[in-house]
Amino acid sequence: MLVFNDTEEELVEKAISALTNIVTLETTQPLYSPSLIFPGLEIRQNQHRVLQNGEDIYLTRLEYRTLVLLATNPGIVLTRTQIFEAVWNMDSDSCQSSISTVICNLRKKIEPDSKNPTYIKTVLGVGYKFDVKNAGK
């Protein structure tokens, strides 16, 4: 918090007034972060929350970011390397076990049957995709 005496406050007001005559100020809208809604699953990005059938699901940071990455790219197969680089924010040649562990834990938390996943599908030899056609079935 800044505190000005009367003279300083008057000078600041004059400076702001002069700047507004020179520079056009634009109002900006806050970034809209929509909810991603699928049968039985809702991802509220603006609240950093995941709900399954209306109940909060606790996810780690890596699980949440992996889920959001897959769900915002529905139907697109992402390689383990792409997921690792996007979620961990680093390059790695040995990301296989890290990604597999996160996907396994994520499936246990959000899939109706983690052994027969409907949201996160494995594409053998390639990576994973979020399946919107069969999500939640």
Residue 40 lies in a domain: yes
Look up the domain containing 100 and give its range: 35-130
Confidence of residue 12 (pLDDT cuts 50, 70, 90): low
CA dihedral of residues 91, 47, 43, 63 (deg, nearest 10): 30
* Amino acid 34: pLDDT: 83
Residue 137 lies in a domain: no
Residue 121 belongs to domain with CATH number: 1.10.10.10
Residue 109 lies in a domain: yes
* Amino acid 109: pLDDT: 95
Q: Is the pTM of this model over 0.85?
A: no
Residue 72 lies in a domain: yes
Residue 79 lies in a domain: yes
Residue 136 lies in a domain: no
Q: What is the pLDDT of residues 22-55, one digit of tens each?
A: 666 555 555 556 889 999 999 999 889 999 999 9
Q: What is the pLDDT of residues 55-113, one digit of tens each?
A: 999 999 999 999 999 999 999 999 988 898 888 876 666 666 788 899 999 999 999 89
The DSSP line for 111-126 is -SSTTS-SSEEEETTT
Residue 96 lies in a domain: yes
Number of domains the chain is built from:
1
